[in-house]
A and B are shown apart, each in its own frame.
Chain A
């Protein structure tokens, strides 16, 4: 570890964490909403005159439900897939915030809250799996 890095670690205090977290949240929100908007334009241009029907629950098309489908859909500029990518980014934003706070707590040498952050991440991970299986 060189001197510069040590300096950074010494400098990281309680007061820096809110600034970092604020930036992560804002950037994540702005970026994902832009993607949703962009996808929305494609969707409206292509399907604007189709019929909107949400009366009966029948799930969502396969290509916007799973990561691989969304990825392929985005590459072929499918509006709904781009919107879903934006929504995925939006859901990931608070999770990213926890990861950043976990790193912040380590730099502050607050290991108790480092573990609490990891625990919250673990719960979300279990939730992801349970949604898949349950």
Chain B
């Protein structure tokens, strides 16, 4: 395939991945990696490198918008970035030594897990208790709502911190934002309100990805000819997605369709991984 054909196909594919990723909240990386490896036979290391670059772009773009609206908890994000960047560094180094088949299988497993998480019914349970550690680290906060300012506390800081360490490793190893894991850490373990957990997680994704991108770059995983259409396509798709989301709320059937597509892709990744074809 000539460079020009290849670039156009990837632009279209990445645009779709970015659009779906933004509409469902799963992120573009989870679709772009199977697309590159399964359909276009791209080596998984190049796919991970290109995906990670697109993750930084979309995270920076949307975090810029969210942070101004006052939902993002900057201190909580900053504190947990200690865990995610440490994890990302370890994950990126691990990716160098781990056989590609294992990476593919693990990717499939995380993909299915993310799809399940995106379908889960959400229950908001705001905590108001503040432990000594939360007070010391000033992690509790407020966010604007239609009924006025809502204040919230944070529970189980240690548990959330460890989950973030794991989210970082997965991000560095697989080249995805691992937003699903970050939201689990904040929603389920730390009991932070949804608006705060999704925006703060998004805020942290860019820094986490940068910590592993510096390793990828020096290892030759980030190939400019491939990363260029991926980052442009995913970013434009995500922008379109956020424009649509302003007018309609993310519909339930779309999430189901996406979850089924993602599960199918995950199955393919696992199958090809086990057979050593990736």
Contact = CB atoms under 8 A, between A and B. Distances in A.
Q: Do A and B come from one complex?
A: yes
Interface of A: 17-19, 21-23, 25-26, 28-29, 32-33, 36-37, 39-40, 43-44, 47-52, 54-57, 59-60, 64-65, 79-81, 83-84, 87-88, 90-95, 97-98, 101, 110, 112-113, 116-117, 119-120, 123-124, 126-128, 130-132, 134
Residue among A88, A119, A127 with most chain B CB within 10 A: A127
Contact of A120 (B41, B57, B85, B217): B85
B78 A40 contact: no
B218 A131 contact: yes
A54 B45 CA distance: 10
Main secondary structure of the interface of B (DSSP, over half): helix
A90 B224 contact: no
A131 B68 CA distance: 34
Interface residues of B, number: 67
Given A49-B3, A95-B207, A83 B227 contact: yes
B74 A90 contact: no
Contact of B43 (A22, A57, A97): A57
17 contacts: A21-B74, A39-B224, A43-B228, A44-B3, A51-B2, A52-B3, A55-B41, A55-B42, A56-B43, A80-B225, A90-B60, A91-B53, A91-B217, A94-B210, A120-B81, A123-B82, A132-B218
Given A33-B232, A39-B228, A91-B217, 14 more contacts: A18-B70, A21-B64, A22-B65, A26-B61, A43-B225, A59-B219, A83-B224, A83-B228, A87-B217, A88-B217, A101-B74, A123-B89, A127-B89, A134-B93
A87 B163 CA distance: 29
Given A33-B231, A90-B56, A25 B41 contact: no
A64 B1 CA distance: 22
B210 A95 contact: yes
Interface string B1-33: 111111100000000000000000000000000
A57 B45 contact: yes
